[in-house]
Structure 1
């Protein structure tokens, strides 16, 4: 990763170097990413009104590995698959109604979180800097909770939204961020 005289990145960092690959490889990465998102949606702990899944782990990893642009595109494609009715959301659900219900804020936060972790990864918050990678992933998880909680608050009120849609997920966000940083560290080591 090199910096210009102005201190900006001249070559964005990406452990998978997807921006340097062919369009076919990038399309394949998007399809793999949507499959990873779907698989992470099936790992679910039923909670009301929002189930706990491994989705934010997948979101932050996709952002960190793909970069902010391709990461956001991947998550947006996954959301479109769900909107079309494919069973890609938590517990194998899909349909446009999921994008208007209590989980919609979390779903719409996912591409933004992928962009954040990807943007930070491109600036050196990567697996070779584990604390930075953990912090980046934790910031992505926190962003999901913030946006999702705000959406939920509009439906059930701030206090209920905090206790039902934010507080129960904080510990999981920390654990998933640590796991994501460890996976990113292993991926960066393998890609180097």
Structure 2
């Protein structure tokens, strides 16, 4: 009985640590801008997908959820905060749909398994990442008006960088899952 209790406590502590570290990784990825064509990229979407693949949907979603709650609470965790505002004001701005899309992308990325072929993994990652952009574009269009070039403003400049990140993760996904299963 005592051994079961200790194992459960250890598992809870490891899970909480993973959630906190995931949120920290997401914050760091939001702050680093990497020169890329046609616009600089952050590694946020890479980390969101990585969290889903590496931690599974429960811990991955908890990490992303904690990150979003930190930002809503006013911590400067989002990409352009505090420069462009903090808290709920920033969250409900033009990027809200993308931020909510982090949750769907993380969940969908967690559905990759070691039996999937490279093409299946690549397809799942494209679909997962697409949900970020679909929700982002829907919110952006609602916020600034559908008469604006929504796709050109909110997706097109980032697609080459997204493809680059997806390919890297697709190549590493099976190894990441194997490591997750050992730990």
TM-score, reference length from structure 2: 0.79
Deviations, residues 53-84 of structure 1 (Å, cap 9, x unaligned): 21111111101111122211110111011111
Matched with 1:39 is 28
Q: In the alignment, is the contact (CA less than 8 A) between 2:22 and 2:51 conserved in 1?
A: yes
Q: How many residues align?
A: 166
Deviation at 1:51, TM superposition (A): 7.4
Instruction: Identify unmatched segments of 5+ residues in structure 1.
Output: 1-20
Deviations, residues 71-109 of structure 1 (Å, cap 9, x unaligned): 111101110111112121104534221211001110111
Q: In the alignment, is the contact (CA less than 8 A) between 2:61 and 2:106 conserved in 1?
A: yes
| Residue 108 (structure 2) pairs with residue 116 (structure 1) | yes
1:107 paired residue among 92, 99, 104? 99
Q: In the alignment, is the contact (CA less than 8 A) between 2:34 and 2:41 conserved in 1?
A: yes
| Residue 142 (structure 2) pairs with residue 151 (structure 1) | no
Deviations, residues 17-43 of structure 1 (Å, cap 9, x unaligned): xxxx70100001101100110111012
Matched with 2:4 is none
Deviation at 1:44, TM superposition (A): 2.6
Deviation at 1:190, TM superposition (A): 4.7
Q: In the alignment, is the contact (CA less than 8 A) between 1:127 and 1:184 conserved in 2?
A: no
User: Cα gap change, 1:105/1:167 in structure 2, threshold over 3 Å: closer, same or farther?
Assistant: same
Deviations, residues 132-171 of structure 1 (Å, cap 9, x unaligned): 2222221111110111011001122335211100111222
Runs of 4+ in structure 1 displaced over 4 angstroms? 189-192
Q: Secondary structure at the match of 1:22?
A: helix
2:70 paired residue among 57, 63, 81? 81
Whole-Å separation in 2 of the counterparts to 1:92 and 1:185:
34
TM-score, reference length from structure 1: 0.76
Instruction: Identify unmatched segments of 5+ residues in structure 2.
Output: 1-9
Whole-Å separation in 1 of the counterparts to 2:168 and 2:11:
30
- Of structures 1 and 2, the larger Rg is shown by 2
Whole-Å separation in 1 of the counterparts to 2:20 and 2:66:
9
| Larger helix proportion of the pair | 2
User: Cα gap change, 1:78/1:23 in structure 2, threshold over 3 Å: closer, same or farther?
Assistant: same
